[in-house]
Amino acid sequence: MVKNLVNSIEKLVFEKSTKKFGVSRILKENDDKPVFIKDVNGYPVIGNLCTREVIAESLGIEKEDLMKHMVESMNNEKNGELIVDESLEKLYIDDDLEKIHDYPIPTYYGKDAGPYLTSGVVIVKDKDEGVNASIHRILVRPDGNLAIRMVEQRHLHYIYNKNIGNGEVDCAIVIGVHPAVLLAASTSGDVSFNELKYASALINKPLNLVKCKTVDLEVPEAEFIIEGKITAEMVDEGPFVDITGTYDVIRKQPLIKVTALRRKEDAIFHALLPGGSEHKLLMGIPQEPRMYKGIRNTVPSLKNVALTQGGCCWLNAVVSIDKKTEGDGKNAILAALAAHPSLKHVTVVDDDINIYDANDVEYAVATRVQSDKDIIIIPGAKGSSLDPSADHKNKLTAKMGIDATMSLLKGKEEFIRAEVPKDDE
């Protein structure tokens, strides 16, 4: 599955690199361009994989249709199909547990606590809520076990706390999966939301699962499968780099005891650069359908939504509307800020502006904005913990909306851009 995608996409190819800082140097120097490294400690590595273009290609759609496709797939999540394919088991090799230190798991930055799994999708199961799939940073400890950063508001933390009274929680970490699985695992729904069924809806066909050997779980087909038990033991995790490219603090987090290592022959490892474009996209893209639904309730003529890479795919957004009345732009600003509470800045543009082109958006701001009328500033709002400039003591920030739409009072004629005719007639 991953091999087919790697073979089909346009990518930069490198012959060899090192696990410690070598992989991250290549990924950072070529950010936003898929990179394939043939040999990292004897394994091939793919990185910068999930661009908007690659995700759309893997789903068989155009980039501009991605967000609407996600909305439709989320609405169809319950109809996703999961199939345990026993024939897949013959593709896997069992490795000794100490082999984890030979895997091409990078150390990305100078102050990192050690090698980190960053693209691993963590699978757990709850008897009431069903299967949960989510992405978390995971430190590989010198003893070969793992420390997982478990954010308090996430569903994994809820399932862990609910079940840890039994002593341990079965888990599996899959690395090298279809982009639909990464996208689904990055998506927030309610606790009953089945991310794997959502992945099936995204690809519009059944999702093949592999049965684990040492834990009671079925997981998506992947290049690497790490099985383990999340324990009640708390160990140091961090420091590690977050989405803004700045360091997060050291915390006490749960220890995972590794119980099995499985991989495909010639398995391709997926290295996801912390703070890189791929990290930002996988955090941001799943928020766009939620924003789309929220804004559309207020402005029905909404066309599209994008969280921008320059804004870490988290703090800044561009919203496209087919403006019908003079207040639509400002209503869209308020709806966007409500739909994504971590949002800090939002720019609303007309539907003739390409929201994926920063120059085109800046053109709209330059030619369609009067600052005293079209900019809204909201001081003292609750903001994102990922914003380094926020008042973290009081959890406050200032938010801004820019209405960069054409004024209907002036008339659109003054704003229409000249076009060269397609023929000479």
Of 351, 343, 327, 361, which is closest to residue 294 (Cα–Cα)? 343
- How far CA 125 is from CA of 159, 206, 383, in Å, comes to 8, 20, 32
Torsion angle of C-alpha atoms 381, 383, 403, 275, degrees rounded to 10? 170
Give me the DSSP letters along 281-297. Answer: HHHHTTHHHHHHHHHHH
Cβ atoms of 230 and 221 within 8 Å: the answer is no
Active site residues: 242
The type of residue at 226 is I
β-pairing, 43-47 vs 269-271, is: parallel
In three-state secondary structure terms, 277 is helix
CA dihedral 272, 278, 284, 289 (to 10 degrees): -110
- Residue 64 CB-half CA count within 13 A: 7
